[in-house]
Amino acid sequence: PSTSFFPSPSCSRSKSRFYFIALPALFKQELQNTEAEEGGTATLRCELTKPKAPVEWRKGDVTLYPGLKYEMKQQGCAAELVIYDLELDDS
């Protein structure tokens, strides 16, 4: 998405447009495999190139949402997914 800035009519009659395109957030550190025991808790971490970039956690095609099973944390460029009460299906 781009953001457009237009001069105020009281400042100028110019129809020039300036477009600023935001660079995408990239992974500085990707997710690593984590081992945990059934019934336990696992934390998955990644690091992005931009602080507070929007992060969407997915398992395959399914988007994960915060609740009793999942907790999402984000501070600066670091994002974490905590999975509680692990089951074999969480692999």
The tens digit of pLDDT for each residue in 60-78 reads 899 999 999 999 999 999 9
Question: Domain range spanning residue 70?
Answer: 27-83
Q: What is the pLDDT of residues 30-58, one digit of tens each?
A: 888 888 999 999 999 999 998 988 889 99
Asked whether residue 11 is assigned to any structural domain, the reply reads no
pLDDT of 90 above 70: yes
| pLDDT at site 84 | 97
Residue 67: give its domain's CATH number: 2.60.40.10
Structurally, the chain folds into a number of domains equal to 1
pLDDT of residue 3: 46
**Domain annotation covers residue 31:** yes
Task: Identify the pLDDT of residue 26.
Answer: 81
- Indicate whether 36 belongs to any domain: yes
Neighbour-count burial of 75, counting CB atoms closer than 10 A to its CB (0-12 exposed, 13-18 middle, 19+ buried):
exposed
CA distance 64 to 78: 18
